[in-house]
Each structure stands twice: as C-alpha cells, then as structure tokens.
C-alpha cells in the first residue's frame, strides 16, 4: 500500500490543517474551507487563518444531492470569483479555471495530481496511436486533460451540464482540443457502450458516494459500484489497458479498491493501491481519497 501526494506544484500549497478546516493557497489566493477529516489541532494561529482571501462558511443542515455542504463565501477585497492555476508534469501543461461554488469546491481536487501523472505516463506507455480513454464521473476534467495531453482519444462523461462547460474551458485554457463530452449517467453510458461492442484502452473512475444522473438516476456507491465495475470490464481492451479507480467515500478502504480491480480486471499487472494525501507546512498529512490503479 502506498501513500501518494503531488511531488511539485508551485501553484498549490496546503498551508495548515486542523479544527475540521484546511487553509490552502491556489495560485496567489488563500482559501479557508471545511475539512471533516482534519480532526487535530491547528498549527497556525487564528489570526493567520483569518488572513485568508476567502472563507467558506457552512449553512447548518444544508446539503446538496451528493451530500456536499452548502454555504457561502466571505471574500476579502480584490478576491475574484474566478481565476486560473497551472500544473506541469514532464511535457504536460494544464491550466484550470477555478471558481467559488456554493458547495465549498473550487474546481479541482489537488491530491488528484498524482493520478494525472499516472494517466499521462500510462497513455504514453500503451504503445497505441490515439488510444481510447474513458473518464467517468469526470468533473472538471483534470484526468481527461492528462490523457488528452498524452495523445489519447478521450471520452469525458459527467451528469452535470455546467460541469461539462467548465471542463471545456479548462481544455481550451490548456491549449488542447477534441475531447468528446457526454452529459450522461455513467452506468447507463457504459452499458450502452458494451452493447455496441466498443472497447477502451483506459478507464478512469472517480465515483461520488452519492449522486444523481441527468434524468434523476440515483447513485449510491456501496450499492452500485460492483455493477459499474462489471460493466466496465466488458468494455476493457484485452491486450492494452489500464484502469484508475478513485474512491472518496470515508467508509471505503484502499483494500476495497484493490479487490475490485483484481476481481473485475484479472489481467491487470502492477496494481498499486493506497491513499492520496496532502501535507501541510507542519508536516501533518491530510488523507483525502483512496485509490487503486494498474495496467497490462
């Protein structure tokens, strides 16, 4: 089992954690946000935390369809609603438009940079011209752009139209083009691809704990993940294939991710699994998701 964190990212820093909050820098702006897993004491003073450019305050009892906390942002003067950050790995140069949402998110999950690097390297190592990559529950497209930057033919699936628009902005800001955008329920899309006989060289899964499809389809991770994995196994290329599975549910262990990959993709080699984390300035490591990944 491995613990992974982005190795170098000048545009991002986890400054401090504790008291169920996290203090982060995205580019030139410092944000203060809730973090349910940050259960220890803060290292910096409350004065340090109050210097944040934006502070997300929760509305008690208010949640979105995926269990996200609703609230409002309190902004210091000159704090914009939107701005850009960049991420560089080898020849991959990505650029993301960030924004302050009503659910405390800003458009990227920084810990996922470790998976972006893996996706970029995996696409290049496939030895296939324009390999087909499927990104499910794809959000604002970091994984899709990593695959596209490596030369993949990418299909990006998410159930929220506004998020697809955001993803397209990130693609254009990164100097990329020709990602296939699908506003779909992930499970329905995969089952349809299986019926059509389509195959993919890479599948990226980042399912939420709870969610809704574009037509109100209900998603509960514990109830549907096995069905989704079975459907994905039917569209995996038998010869050249890799898979990335990321799980944000706090009740899931990385061993579950490993077992799912071994069960549904028995030909995968070099399966890696563990936790993605970010370390703050004091050295405290904040766990943020579990992952499993491998290729054949």
CATH code: domain of residue 14: 2.60.40.1180
Name, in order, each residue with C-beta under 8 angstroms of 119's C-beta and a sequence gap of 6 or more: 133, 143, 146, 147, 150, 202, 204, 244
Same domain, 157 and 204: yes
Same domain, 75 and 115: no
Assigned domain for 66 exists: yes
**The pTM is what?**
0.95
Name, in order, each residue with C-beta under 8 angstroms of 56's C-beta and a sequence gap of 6 or more: 31, 32, 33, 34, 71, 72, 73, 74, 100, 104
Same domain, 187 and 278: yes
CA distance between the termini of the chain: 19
User: Could you say which residues of the chain have pLDDT below 50?
Assistant: 62-67
**What's the confidence (pLDDT) of residue 64?**
45
What does the block give as tokens for 86? 């960049």
**What's the confidence (pLDDT) of residue 68?**
61
Assigned domain for 103 exists: no
Report which of 205, 294, 293, 184 is spatially closest to residue 247, judged by C-alpha positions: 205
**What's the confidence (pLDDT) of residue 213?**
85
- Count of structural domains within the chain: 2
Residue 176: give its domain's CATH number.
Answer: 3.40.50.150
Q: How far apart are CA 51 and CA 41, in angstroms?
A: 18
Q: How far apart are CA 91 and CA 146, in angstroms?
A: 10
Per-residue model confidence as pLDDT tens digits over 233-291: 999 999 999 999 999 876 789 999 999 999 999 999 999 999 999 999 999 999 999 99
Assigned domain for 211 exists: yes
**What's the confidence (pLDDT) of residue 63?**
46
CB–CB of 179/166 below 8 Å?
A: no
Q: Structural domain of residue 219, as residue ranges?
A: 110-295
């Amino acid at each position: 089992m491995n613990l992974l964190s982005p190795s170098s990212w000048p545009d991002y820093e986890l400054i401090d954690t504790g008291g169920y909050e996290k203090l982060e820098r995205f580019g030139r702006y410092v944000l203060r946000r809730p973090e349910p897993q940050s259960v220890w004491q803060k290292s910096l003073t409350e004065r340090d935390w109050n210097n944040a450019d934006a502070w997300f305050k929760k509305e008690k009892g208010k949640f979105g369809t995926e269990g996200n906390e609703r609230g409002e942002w309190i902004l210091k003067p000159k704090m914009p609603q939107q701005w850009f950050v960049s991420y560089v790995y080898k020849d991959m140069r990505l650029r993301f438009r960030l924004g302050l949402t009503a659910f405390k998110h800003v458009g990227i999950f920084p810990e996922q940079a470790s998976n972006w690097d893996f996706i970029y390297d995996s696409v290049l190592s496939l030895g296939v011209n324009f390999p087909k990559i499927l990104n499910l529950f794809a959000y604002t497209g970091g994984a899709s752009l990593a695959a596209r930057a490596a030369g993949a033919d990418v299909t990006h699936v998410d159930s929220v139209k506004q998020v697809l628009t955001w993803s397209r902005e990130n693609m254009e800001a990164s100097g990329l083009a020709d990602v296939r955008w699908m506003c779909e329920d992930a499970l329905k899309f995969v089952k349809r691809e299986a019926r059509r006989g389509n195959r993919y060289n890479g599948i990226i899964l980042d399912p939420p704990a709870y969610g809704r499809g574009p037509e109100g389809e209900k998603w509960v991770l514990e109830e549907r993940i096995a069905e989704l994995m079975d459907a994905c196994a039917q569209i995996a290329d038998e010869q050249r294939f890799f898979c990335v599975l990321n799980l944000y549910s706090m009740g899931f262990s990385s061993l579950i991710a490993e077992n799912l990959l071994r069960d549904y993709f028995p030909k995968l080699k070099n399966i890696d699994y563990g936790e993605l984390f970010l370390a703050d300035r004091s050295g405290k490591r904040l766990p943020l998701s579990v992952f499993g990944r491998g290729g054949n």
